[in-house]
Amino acid sequence: MPQLVKLFQFTLSGLTTGSTYALIAIGFSIIHNATGIVNFAQGEFVMLGGMFMITFYGYLKLPMAAAFVLSVFAVAIIGLLLEKTALRPSRSQEVLNLVMITVGASIFIKGLSMAVWGKSAMTLAPFSGEDPILILGAAIMPQSIWIFGITLAVVAALSAFFVKTRTGKAMRAVAASRRSAMLAGIPVNRMIALSFFLSGALGAVAGIILTPVTTISYDAGIMLGLKGFSAAILGGYGSMIGAVAGGLLLGVLESLGAGLVSSEYKDVLAFLILLIVLFFKPGGIFGKGASRRV
Amino acid sequence: MKHLPLPVFSLFVIALPLILSNNYYLMALNIAALNVVIVIGLNLLMGYAGQISLGHAAFFGLGAYLSAILTTTCGFPVWPTIPAAMAITAVVAYLIGIPTLKLEGHYLVMATLGFNVIVYIVMIQLSAVTGGPSGFAGIPRLQIGGFAFDSDLKIYYLFWAVAILVLILSLNLIHSRAGRAMAALSHNEIAARCTGIDTETYKVKIFVISAALASLAGSLYAHYISFISPGSFSIFFSLQAVTMVLVGGMGSVWGSLFGAILLSLLPEVLHSVKEYNVLVYGFILMAVLMFFPRGLFPAGRSFCIAMIRKKT
């Protein structure tokens, strides 16, 4: 049954990229829950993660684990800086104004990255070899297993953080109602800063594990950000389970589309899905119907 | 006093080439005129209907490619093709507008961005029709009867006449009943709807108008440069257009004129930073939004008025 094996193969590779979309989508959700804005620079965090990893691991020859931690931390700090230096001091705190500031930040980071790392695409060696492992006739790269494993670990850790820890609960309280959280004595501004820090870290992880599969260049951020956003919309904006489901679903649909229909129009397919979902079910697959208080 | 700026500006535009004979500057000003058309249209949408589109490069591109393909490949005459391209773009915008304009703020930003990416990829991949990444060459130039618009100076007068016409029409529009309805809509959509304004229809209409204006600029661009490639219609241009609107000030038609001219000429002035074009744009966009959320033009005007009042 070669046709079935082929489908299985496409699904596997779709789940691989889908896992990174899920991480990016969670980053979108965390910031959205804390502030109500869409952070257009989320994709740049992913690109920066890959770039830092290449710099620390590929050029400076640091041990892999150290390079990983350093890259994640560096991008998390950049996320924090975005909030502290661009969004917090803004004179208008209107949502659309803040959203457009992140658009500006995204172009700015892109331009800066071009100046630092140049225009050509950079590669990163897979974490452990390139010998494919055969499962039921389909080949799976060791890097894919890394991607699944790390995504799973990150999602598990985040879930535990939001459910078990005081800080996580405080962040959820801010998401539920900023004013009530403030009245309950939660340092809201610190929680907002933390959400940018976390989103930066999540984006970096996605970038680091994805780079060995796809290579990375200074202008890759927008596309990755859009994919992550599509995933977040697909699953229902703001929900973590939705982000994971949306990411995996988008990855699989994209991979099946590329394999069975046409690889040139792979990205078109992703956005058509986004537009169709926005048109027919703006709340996402897992979302509830939106209602607004006047 | 109220009608003074328009004739003054028109006279200035007519006189400018007398001082500025260099073709290079004229060319930059011609492109600026097209940007004025796009940015005024986009500002009608952003400032008066309260909707942000990051997909206007796609409409600009649709105009350019439709003109190019219809005249060069299909052999249609140039002049009727331009309104035809506008009409097709308007239909596309209408079809996209109905569902997307129901979305709120940042969802619309993303949806229009997604649309722009789709159009861009199709321009590159459909190379049999569009010429693919290497572009589309040999587009006929503009002419009326025996009179050919074959120099930058002739194009200058044509394009700025179009830009000023668009400016006048927009000023008329915003001072009309429809314009006031749109202003109400941009301030508070729910309140506007409660007073009986059909907000959905107005939003779609203004979206279609601004897309058609972008298409007009695209057609003129294609017939002027006679070569187009997908690079000019990527989301970066959409971002540039939005930046021009924001720098000029949302909801100020004169501000759009100012923003479009300023940011179109800025790269020509800052030659040395051409490589860092992207960086500079990102920085300007961020800084203006942070410190002048209402735009540079309105901020500058209130500053001037305050200074004059202080003296008297």
DSSP A36: S
Below-50 pLDDT ranges, chain B = 1
Out of A91, A268, A279, whose CB is closest to B99? A279
- State the pLDDT at residue A109: 93
- State the pLDDT at residue B1: 45
- Tally helices (H) and strands (E) across chain B: 14, 4
Question: Which long-range contacts (C-beta less than 8 Å, at least 24 apart) are formed by A138-143?
Answer: A138/A5, A138/A8, A138/A9, A138/A12, A139/A9, A140/A12, A141/A16, A141/A213, A143/A16, A143/A209, A143/A212, A143/A213
Q: For chain A, which domains are there? A: 2-123+134-280 (1.10.3470)
Partners of B136 in the β-ladder:
B228
Q: Do A99 and B278 touch (CB under 8 A)?
A: no
Q: Within 13 A of B275's CA, how many CA atoms are on the CB side?
A: 8
Residue B73 identity (one-letter amino acid): T
User: Is A293 part of the contact surface with chain B (CB cutoff 8 Å)?
Assistant: no
- State the pLDDT at residue B120: 92
The residue ranges of every structural domain in chain B are: 28-234
Residue A256 identity (one-letter amino acid): L
Which tens digit of pLDDT belongs to each residue from B85-138? 999 999 999 988 887 777 766 677 778 888 898 899 999 988 888 888 888 988
Q: Do A265 and B121 touch (CB under 8 A)?
A: yes
Q: Which residue of A lies nearest to B51 if distances are taken between CA atoms?
A: A96
| A 45-64 → B contacts, CB under 8 A | none
DSSP B45: I
Characterize the bridge pairing of strands B136-137 and B227-228: antiparallel
Torsion of CA A206, B290, B101, B174, to 10 degrees: -160
Best of A29, A31, A103 to substitute, by most chain B Cβ atoms within 10 angstroms, is A103
Say which residue the tokens 């735009």 belong to.
Answer: B295
Say which residue the tokens 């600009």 belong to.
Answer: B60
Q: Which residues of A touch B123 (CB under 8 A)?
A: none
Q: Are the beta carbons of B210 and B53 closer than 8 angstroms?
A: yes
Q: Calculate Rg over the CA atoms of chain B.
A: 19
Out of B105, B115, B276, whose CB is closest to A96? B105
Q: pLDDT in tens for each of the 294 residues of chain A?
A: 578 888 888 898 899 999 999 999 999 999 988 888 889 899 999 999 999 999 999 889 999 999 999 999 999 999 999 999 999 888 888 877 888 899 889 989 998 999 899 888 888 888 887 788 887 778 888 899 999 999 999 999 999 999 999 999 999 999 888 889 999 999 999 999 999 999 999 999 999 999 998 889 998 888 899 889 888 888 877 788 889 999 999 999 889 888 887 777 777 887 787 778 777 776 666 665 554 444
Out of A38, A90, A271, whose CB is closest to B114? A271
Residues in chain B whose Cβ is within 8 Å of chain A: 52, 54, 99-100, 102-103, 105-107, 109-111, 113-115, 117-118, 121-122, 125, 190, 235-236, 239, 242-243, 246, 275-286, 289-293
User: Is A100 part of the contact surface with chain B (CB cutoff 8 Å)?
Assistant: yes
Q: Which residues of B touch A36 (CB under 8 A)?
A: none
- Specify the DSSP element, H or E, that contains B137: strand B136-137
H-type alpha helices, B175-291: 177-187, 189-194, 199-225, 235-248, 253-269, 277-291
User: Is A233 part of the contact surface with chain B (CB cutoff 8 Å)?
Assistant: yes
DSSP B233: G
- State the pLDDT at residue A293: 46
Q: Smallest CA–CA separation between A141 and chain B, in Å? A: 29
Residue A288 identity (one-letter amino acid): K
Q: Which residues of A touch B117 (CB under 8 A)?
A: 223, 226, 267-268, 271
Out of A96, A229, A265, whose CB is closest to B110? A229
Q: Smallest CA–CA separation between A132 and chain B, in Å? A: 32
Q: Which residues of A touch B127 (CB under 8 A)?
A: none
DSSP A288: P
Helix (H, G, I), strand (E, B) or coil at B228: strand
Distance CA(A41)–CA(A79), nearest Å, equals 9
Q: Are the beta carbons of A37 and A102 closer than 8 angstroms?
A: yes
- State the pLDDT at residue A294: 46
Out of A86, A108, A226, whose CB is closest to B114? A226
Q: Do A274 and B114 touch (CB under 8 A)?
A: yes
H-type alpha helices, A54-118: 64-81, 95-117
Q: Do A282 and B103 touch (CB under 8 A)?
A: yes
| ipTM above threshold 0.85 | no
C-alpha separations of A179 from A38, A162, A172, A182, A239 in Å: 20, 19, 13, 5, 21
Say which residue the tokens 């994971």 belong to.
Answer: A244
User: Is A267 part of the contact surface with chain B (CB cutoff 8 Å)?
Assistant: yes
Q: Do B286 and A86 touch (CB under 8 A)?
A: yes
The neighbour count for residue B222, using CB atoms within 10 Å, is 30
Q: Which residues of A touch B190 (CB under 8 A)?
A: 294
Q: Which residues of A touch B235 (CB under 8 A)?
A: 222
